[in-house]
Amino acid sequence: MPTLTSALLRHYAGAKSYWRGLTYRDSVAELAVRSRHVEALVLGASEYRVTLQWEDTHLTGTCSCPYGSQGFFCKHCVAVGLVLLERGLTVPPPDAEDEELRVRLAELDHATLVGLLYDQASRDRSLRDEIMRVRG
């Protein structure tokens, strides 16, 4: 698993977006490191939602800004990454324990869980097959 660095951010964003992202660090209004990703709100011409996460060994960034919405790693993604580095934080690995999900599932009643699992398994053949193999 690669480590989050400023060089990695520059690699994904390109020089122009990276340098613009440097000036947006103070615009990161909210930052939350979740179990398997990072969420942030960045203030610019509007409020932009940013998510950073690892997909295998590749850092991915999504942003609701016009440039990010086209699939580019934008200056807002860079700003979030730089703020993480400044605070000594990082993007959690994709296989990290998702304690938030575990807690939320434990709060749901049986019928709701069955409905959610049925809906997902009806669209995901491998999940359906795994459910059919479980003895319980």
What's the CA gap between 120 and 50, in Å, rounded? 26
Residues in a beta bridge with 50: 40, 63
Alpha helical stretches, state H, 54-109: 66-69, 75-86, 99-107
* Amino acid 102: pLDDT: 77
pLDDT per position as a tens digit, 78-115: 999 999 999 999 999 887 776 777 778 888 898 888 88
Hey, where are the domains in the chain?
6-86, 99-133
Residues ≥6 apart with Cβ < 8 Å to 88:
none
Number of CB atoms found within 10 A of residue 82's CB: 19
Residue 118 is encoded by which pair of tokens?
């049925």
pLDDT under 70: residue ranges of the chain: 1, 98
